[in-house]
Amino acid sequence: MTLPSLLAVFAHPDDESLAAGGVLARHAAGGARTAVVTATWAPETRRAAELADALRVLGAEGPRLLGYADARAPQSAPGSPRFVDAPLDEVVHRLVVHIRQFCPDIVVTHDAYGNLTGHPDHLHAHRVTTLAVQAAALDQLYPDAGAPWRPSSLYLATHPHSAARVLGQSLVRQDTTLYSVPDESVTVTVDVGPWLEQKISAILAHRSEVERGALPGRLASLAPAERARLLSTEWYVRHDPHATEPARTDL
């Protein structure tokens, strides 16, 4: 059975592999169309090229870059506004175009905390995606963006408290505040063990992040068994963008 098509929306190159690489690989292996919209970094940058490599590993379509600047890296998109500073209506409009073009069954993005670190770009990607999923279904909003499309589900990549504690001990600096949700708030827990090799290869494809010792670099330094322990599960909270529809668990 072909799995539902999936469009992921994340803030930075590498977020897709770290937060949802297993699910992206699983859906692609099941015959589904998968794609990723990335809010920051310009197409001509090294990180955009690394993103293209990671998406090939995961079986997804080529990069869909909005091209805004990372809030903490102005060199990411010279001459472009920071993602968090761009006009909200402009960003939502651009994302609606991608949703209506791709027509996904499922949309995946950051949770309301912006995942573990609460990065401002992650938070903004959550807000923008939540708005765009609702707007894409309304024919009188952004009529120039294509025919209306209503994804059946919006899933927020997250971490339960129990997993955050384990990850924090292994990967996160001691003075870092971690953001996670109660274990019972998790809607779907996905065992991505069968696609772990692809997920890890996609993470390591972000070579500049490995080199500078960011999270992909810290993962690269771990023993294979420890990497597998930390990366073999993904967690999601289902957000219902269309409350009149019955709940689904289709990840």
Tens digits of residue pLDDT in 58-68:
999 999 999 99
In a domain, 245, yes or no: no
Work out how many domains the chain is built from and give that number: 1
In a domain, 56, yes or no: yes
Closest listed residue to residue 122, CA positions, set 166, 172, 156: 156
**15-20 mean pLDDT:** 98
Closest listed residue to residue 235, CA positions, set 118, 155, 173: 155
- Strands laid side by side in the 106-110 sheet: 64-68, 34-40, 6-10, 106-110, 153-158, 233-239, 188-191
Q: How many residues does the chain have?
A: 251
Amino acid at 68: Y
In a domain, 1, yes or no: no
Identify the pLDDT of residue 7: 98
Range of the domain at 81: 6-239
Identify the pLDDT of residue 248: 56
**169-174 mean pLDDT:** 77
Tell me the CATH number at 37.
3.40.50.10320
In a domain, 36, yes or no: yes
Question: What does the mean pLDDT of the chain come to?
Answer: 95
In a domain, 249, yes or no: no
In a domain, 114, yes or no: yes
In a domain, 227, yes or no: yes
In a domain, 93, yes or no: yes
CA separation for the pair 123, 143 (Å, rounded): 27
CA separation for the pair 193, 146 (Å, rounded): 38
